[in-house]
Chains A and B, each alone.
Chain A
């Protein structure tokens, strides 16, 4: 069930089928991302793939008959038309054509009729139709799938296609469960079920004893997780710097060197990252220092490396180190930038308050803390906004709710009306009426025990108190205790045993915090493998955009002035 391996094996197979010789890889914008997530450039070069072309650049491409062309495309109408044109005047010697999803017989015919020069050798479907981020994590890179609290139709079909491709790529034919409170979840489950039924022949492979489970959830059930600042490496980088298809943009870092303006964070090619992506921020600093110490010891150099600044100097002085272990210099840069921003924006204080709002119940005290942070000029407006949004969700029904006062304060801090509207939007999107679960788990005894345990463990965990709702959902699912009323099956079949293979998909996007949770569950739960997917992978910023599209055109049930005060 490793999704990186699944896509990578597809790509390797394509390259292999084309045999020896110089190759060009012809792709569309989507498949380019699919491939780039699983293959490093240096690695694919070694497999004789030397050129990479986009199908829609046909006019500007030039004829090179001595190249074999591996074509990997999504089966859209436009792509079929572009490819047919390409085949009528082929630029390369031979074509090996692969579609990332089901293609119609009609489209095959269109292509066949264009191949007068007999250049096509293969036409197949290879279901690498999604972005494999980690072995257990995938995304479809669909932002704003929810419009006016309903599916945008093209995105529903794209999501259903992506999910069924995923199932085919890991050879799972699952029972489907969905979150009953979400109409979008039901619709998606229905679509997936229909595709499976209509392509029954494709789904006929050796079944496992215990059927896999596909669980479809809606982000609206837990709007809290994407609001929080994060402190594990991967999640934090995405929250503070933003990860896009494994790349982060460091061009805004003061004094950044040219080759570090955009860096790649890939657990597949970067060992340090794969070791540390789920470590907390503090531990990463230590690990980097250890690595440098090790190198120092061996290079018989005794410069003291105490601070991150020292590390930077150290690297500056060792060009060989810098070149050979570009990975390390990259991480030193990233980590030092993170720590600079943490200090600059007072993120520790902000995060502490966030965590308390999300996990503790002390209204007046927390309200006070938000107000104190409002006075602090170091705190970013976006962090104030997220605090107020959290507060709004948490104390939606509290008798002394002071949302109005807080929005007023936001206004005084110069936060635009668009942004202030997000406070209402988040209530509309993920407020009490929208939820099917007890998000804040007030009465959950497990939760209370956990809190006590956490309090015993001490200060460090102040910033990691919050567990995404997904934790308890998965826990129940694994134990076979997930209530059927809240998460019904699509179809007549029901799972009698505890599940072994689980695919969870979150409509509206998942987060790296949830990815870390799933990773930990996989490591600690014997015999269970979980894959997590989302329409996209959110940080606060992208979640705001998701929110504003989702509630667009909704008559708000939350008037700007409530008379409670």
Chain B
């Protein structure tokens, strides 16, 4: 994670002139206008340079990078081994791992189970206490004392209170009770604590705890007595205002549960935008492998794919990249409350997301080759047709000449052979031949009958390969094939000589 030597480029920089562009489409237009012709070579070489580096990093896991400009791939020096040794980058099993998750869970769950049981008990009690049909608190009945005790009776019927005499001191702060430090009961577990240790659960918040559909807006669902006053009035006041007295333990359990449901249910805007952005990236990544072979094929004038389809796909891709751009910009600009404790990190996070989106765009934009225009494509198609026909003619010519030569070295009896429709049957690259008309591959059987000697047959096949390799400019392959051909010839003459002698 050490910072890369090249600084992180923000936005849509043109990789050649480093001008900044607002949107993907603008950059695309600029790229095609300004750099499509004259700088292609430069771009290719630079791209080659980086592609190769990328391949290196990705090792064998990545595929589908087409061979880039070969000029850069050659290491001018041969006196020393390059630092990159492909044999070290073969598949390697993941190292040993050891799994502790189960042991961890066993210990944790034993503890958590206890919490869960306790919390559920509390929630059931809370639900009953909040029952609208239950007797209401004293205050709502205009302070009628009998009703108050009715309510107490109702509470006690749901939660068994610890008898006053059973506890000499507060269970929380351990201070002993006296006239000044009076006993209070937790309405949820029935435990005894002092006033200082009491927590007050807001009733609206309590509604939300038992029913998550209830919305609750506020800082905290709990109130804490700030003064140490124990006057019955103020105390009654707080409870009367719609609060329920509970102990610290119960508060902890309720809060824990609330946080966990909260996290499950609420997604901040950032997360929503982010998920959308990743979705667009995923979609684009799925489309790219469909699009690239289309451009390749169309830009050499082949008719394998429809131009319109490719254009539609391209528009779709550009729209997706645009969306990634827009979403990541929105993420970057998301408002952060400056007083929020996580403001700084939040900012870092938003920036990092934007940077990663920029990387994503840069990588893919350079790879997103332009389609030829519809007119250009028509021209390409025609040019290709002509070219293919020319090639076929040339091949035939060469074929005939080769046969002529072959015949001279052949046994005289093999001479009678019709020419013209003779053609190599083995082509490795079918698409090249599909366009030509008035010609079809010779069937295997008929050919065998014409060329009796399997060695001659083999030599012909190899000649065909050589031709194809030459067209594809695979020179090392050509060399290898020519070598094979020579070996075959030698062997053939040797056999002929033996036959002649015997």
Contacts and interface: CB of A to CB of B under 8 A. Distances in A.
B85 A135 contact: yes
Contacts of A5: 59, 88-89, 92
A320 B2 contact: no
Interface residues of B, number: 82
A247 interface: yes
Interface string B82-118: 1111011100111111111101111110011001000
A103 B355 CA distance: 36
B108 A118 contact: yes
B360 interface: yes
A145 B327 CA distance: 52
A41 interface: yes
Contact of A6 (B95, B101, B260, B274): B95
B83 A124 contact: no
A299 B46 CA distance: 11
Interface string A536-556: 000000000000000000000
Contact of B92 (A6, A123, A126, A279): A6
Interface string B436-452: 00000000000000000
B344 A62 contact: yes
Nearest to A269: B57
Interface in A494-542: 519-520, 522-523, 529
A243 to B, nearest CB: 12
B45 A295 contact: yes
A50 interface: yes
Contact of A287 (B77, B88, B341): B77
Q: Which interface class (under 10, 10 to 19, 20 to 34, 35 or more) fits A?
A: 35 or more
Given A39-B1, A41-B1, A286-B76, A50 B352 contact: yes
A246 interface: yes
A36 B2 contact: yes
Interface in A240-269: 245-247, 259-260, 263-264, 266-269
B98 A134 contact: no
A319 B7 CA distance: 13
Interface stretch (A106-114, A342-350, A379-387, A428-436): A106-114
Q: Which of A48, A93, A330 has the most CB of B within 10 A?
A: A48
Nearest to A25: B1
A13 B93 CA distance: 12
Contact of A134 (B8, B49, B83, B99): B83
A271 interface: yes
Interface in B327-351: 341-346, 348-349
Contacts of A118: 108, 112, 260
Interface stretch (A180-188, A216-224, A321-329): A321-329
A494 to B, nearest CB: 25
B30 interface: no
Given A62-B344, A135-B85, A274-B56, A125 B5 contact: no
Q: A interface, by DSSP: helix, strand, loop or mixed?
A: mixed
Interface in B55-83: 56-57, 59, 71-72, 75-77, 79-83
B455 interface: no
Interface in A104-134: 105, 108-109, 111-113, 115-118, 120-128, 134
Contact of A323 (B6, B81, B345): B6
Given A102-B98, A274-B82, A108 B4 contact: no
B115 A116 contact: yes
B80 A280 contact: yes
Given A22-B274, A51-B348, A279-B77, A9 B94 contact: yes
A64 interface: yes
B96 A205 contact: yes
A563 interface: no
B45 A298 contact: yes
Contacts of B97: 10, 13, 124-127
Interface stretch (B11-19, B122-130, B476-484): B11-19
Nearest to B270: A66
Contacts of A44: 1
A264 B5 contact: yes
Contacts of B345: 51, 61-62, 64
The listed residue with most B CB atoms (<10 A of its CB), out of A66, A116, A122, A171, is A66
Contact of B101 (A36, A123, A128, A247): A123
B95 A126 contact: yes
A312 interface: no
B352 A124 contact: no
Nearest to B98: A125
Contacts of B233: none
Contacts of A111: 104
A445 interface: no
B355 A324 contact: no
B70 to A, nearest CB: 12
B359 A10 contact: no
A40 interface: yes
Given A108-B100, A113-B107, A271-B56, A247 B2 contact: yes
A228 interface: no
A508 B268 CA distance: 53
Contacts of B80: 232, 278-280, 283
B76 A287 contact: yes
A120 B109 CA distance: 11
A40 B355 CA distance: 14
Contact of A268 (B56, B103, B341): B56
A381 to B, nearest CB: 32
Contacts of B46: 324-325
A22 B260 CA distance: 19
Given A62-B342, A62-B345, A116 B98 contact: no
Given A20-B278, A46-B360, A320-B16, A2 B92 contact: yes
Interface in B22-65: 41-42, 45-46, 49-50, 52-53, 56-57, 59
Most buried by A among B45, B76, B100, B344: B100
B93 to A, nearest CB: 6
B140 interface: no
B263 interface: yes
Given A171-B95, A324-B15, A523 B2 contact: no
B98 A124 contact: yes
A291 B73 CA distance: 11
A125 B97 CA distance: 5
Given A6-B95, A202-B96, A299-B42, A116 B112 contact: yes
A45 B352 contact: yes
B271 interface: yes
A335 interface: no
B40 to A, nearest CB: 9
19 contacts: A22-B349, A36-B2, A42-B4, A42-B359, A62-B343, A65-B263, A115-B104, A115-B108, A118-B260, A125-B98, A259-B7, A264-B3, A264-B5, A275-B75, A277-B83, A280-B80, A287-B77, A298-B41, A523-B85
Interface of B: 1-9, 15-18, 41-42, 45-46, 49-50, 52-53, 56-57, 59, 71-72, 75-77, 79-85, 87-89, 92-101, 103-108, 111-112, 115, 256, 259-260, 263, 267-268, 270-271, 274, 278, 341-346, 348-349, 352-353, 355-356, 359-360
Given A9-B95, A264-B5, A323-B9, 19 more contacts: A1-B92, A2-B92, A5-B88, A40-B1, A41-B3, A45-B352, A48-B278, A48-B356, A50-B356, A66-B271, A123-B103, A135-B85, A259-B7, A271-B49, A275-B83, A280-B79, A290-B76, A330-B5, A522-B87
Interface of A: 1-2, 5-6, 9-10, 13, 20, 22, 32, 35-36, 39-46, 48, 50-52, 61-67, 93, 102-103, 105, 108-109, 111-113, 115-118, 120-128, 134-136, 168-171, 202-203, 205, 232, 234, 245-247, 259-260, 263-264, 266-271, 273-280, 283, 286-287, 290-291, 294-295, 298-299, 319-320, 323-327, 330, 519-520, 522-523, 529
Question: 4 nearest interchain CB pairs?
Answer: A326-B6, A62-B342, A112-B107, A169-B95
